[in-house]
């Protein structure tokens, strides 16, 4: 089979197509024949290399994570044979390949008629958006600020905030095209967070402050987010796209503010039944039309480097899919 890995750190050019044996599923695993792979921004950080101990360190040879849509081709010991032939989606560790191993316990069944873009969001994208919003305890009528709202998870969070009853959704993004994109998805207000006065623009839209901030950027964006929080406002951090997780200014918390982190893997470990329900609910939202995803482009697996360039340019609107 063909797969993509990297054997040195660097730019997208280090991604290498190579031939490898088809893996054999172990206990509790399945082997998926890949139909499509959703690329994730975080892998661009791993690929560039970071010192051991960093949150962005990955040893060589480097593998690429992804949201894989495919058909169960084989099952390992302890795994139900009834899964054979089923079309599913899964978050996988070594995902850029024609055949991929996945944990059978976290397979997301793909409903009939669901397109590849939506299917690729079932194992990770939509559950993270749901989990972050629920961690923020969004209440009906509240104001929600979604950073990086044109990205793979952000554009789902904008829509799901409305589904969960948010009164006003303010979306930030970094270009005019992205601002138009998030408005089309239902954002009430769109703000360019590369503008020096972005916090003033948010304050103008929400004079009493924002109740919930979803932050996947980190760094100075996280720091300045506290400037727009309402009393009892909540910040939910679920990523650090700018490469600097940032620190929480403790003095800001005295304004009756709280900060919480959200990790899908931690949520699965702590509340597995609820985490599985999030996958089911995500599928229901897609099937009903309450939630939709945008696919920016579909690329052959061999063009993984192009996918990473697009991710690093932050020019994409929604999801980038790789097709074996």
pLDDT in tens, 57-78: 899 999 999 999 999 999 999 9
Residue 244's pLDDT band (cuts 50, 70, 90): low
Residue 307's pLDDT band (cuts 50, 70, 90): very high
**Strand-pair category, 29-38 with 99-103:** antiparallel
Residue reference for tokens 């397109």 = 115
Note the helical H segments in 1-123: 42-48, 116-120
Residue 246's pLDDT band (cuts 50, 70, 90): low
Per-residue model confidence (pLDDT) at position 271? 96
Per-residue model confidence (pLDDT) at position 292? 94
Mean pLDDT of 200-223: 92
Return the number of other C-beta atoms located less than 10 Å from residue 152's C-beta.
28
Residue 30's pLDDT band (cuts 50, 70, 90): very high
DSSP state of 22: P
Which one has a higher pLDDT value, 324 or 51?
324
Which one has a higher pLDDT value, 27 or 249?
27
Per-residue model confidence (pLDDT) at position 243? 59
Average pLDDT over all residues of the chain: 94
The CA angle 221-225-230, to the nearest 5 degrees, is 170
pTM, two decimal places: 0.93
Per-residue model confidence (pLDDT) at position 251? 76
Per-residue model confidence (pLDDT) at position 241? 67
Per-residue model confidence (pLDDT) at position 220? 84
pLDDT digits (tens, 9 = 90+) for 142-190: 999 999 999 889 999 999 999 999 999 999 999 999 999 999 999 999 9
C-alpha distances out from residue 144 to 126, 139, 167, 274, Å = 17, 10, 8, 23
Residue 318's pLDDT band (cuts 50, 70, 90): confident
C-alpha distances out from residue 237 to 11, 172, 201, Å = 27, 15, 21
Residue 303's pLDDT band (cuts 50, 70, 90): very high
Instruction: Check whether 242 has a pLDDT greater than 70.
Output: no
Residues 6 or more apart whose CB falls under 8 angstroms from that of 145 comprise 170, 171, 172, 202, 206, 210, 212, 213, 214, 225, 228
pLDDT digits (tens, 9 = 90+) for 6-26: 999 999 999 999 999 999 999
pLDDT digits (tens, 9 = 90+) for 82-122: 999 999 999 999 999 999 999 999 999 999 999 999 999 99
Which one has a higher pLDDT value, 223 or 161?
161
Per-residue model confidence (pLDDT) at position 214? 97
The alpha-carbon radius of gyration of the chain (Å, integer) is: 19
Per-residue model confidence (pLDDT) at position 248? 73
Instruction: Check whether 135 has a pLDDT greater than 90.
Output: yes
Per-residue model confidence (pLDDT) at position 124? 95
Mean pLDDT of 192-207: 96
């Amino acid at each position: 089979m063909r797969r993509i890995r990297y054997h040195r750190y660097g730019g997208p050019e280090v991604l290498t197509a190579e031939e490898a044996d088809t893996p054999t599923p172990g206990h509790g695993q399945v082997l998926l024949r890949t139909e499509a792979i959703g690329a994730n921004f975080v892998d661009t950080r791993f690929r560039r290399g970071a010192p051991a101990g960093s949150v962005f360190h990955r040893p060589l040879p480097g593998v690429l994570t992804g949201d894989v849509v495919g058909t169960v081709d084989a099952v390992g010991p302890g795994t139900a044979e009834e899964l054979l032939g089923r079309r599913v989606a899964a978050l996988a560790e070594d995902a850029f390949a024609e055949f991929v191993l996945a944990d059978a316990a976290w397979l997301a069944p793909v409903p009939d008629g669901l397109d590849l873009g939506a299917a690729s969001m079932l194992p990770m994208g939509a559950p993270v958006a749901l989990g972050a919003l629920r961690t923020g305890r969004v209440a009906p009528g509240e104001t929600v600020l979604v950073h990086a709202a044109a990205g793979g998870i952000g554009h789902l969070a904008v829509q799901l905030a409305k589904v969960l009853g948010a009164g006003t959704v303010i979306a930030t993004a970094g270009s005019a095209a992205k601002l138009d994109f998030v408005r089309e998805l239902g954002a009430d207000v769109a703000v360019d967070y590369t503008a020096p006065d972005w916090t003033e623009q948010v304050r103008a839209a929400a004079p009493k402050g924002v109740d919930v901030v979803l932050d996947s950027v980190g760094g100075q964006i996280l720091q300045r987010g506290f400037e727009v929080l309402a009393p009892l406002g909540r910040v939910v951090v679920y990523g650090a796209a700018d490469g600097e997780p940032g620190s929480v200014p403790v003095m800001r918390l005295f304004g009756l503010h709280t900060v919480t982190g959200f990790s899908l893997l931690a949520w699965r470990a702590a509340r597995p039944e609820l985490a599985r329900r999030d996958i089911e609910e995500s599928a229901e939202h897609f099937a009903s039309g309450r939630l939709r995803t945008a696919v920016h482009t579909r690329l052959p697996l061999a063009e993984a480097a192009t996918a990473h360039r697009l991710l690093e340019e932050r020019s994409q609107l929604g999801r980038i899919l790789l097709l074996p």
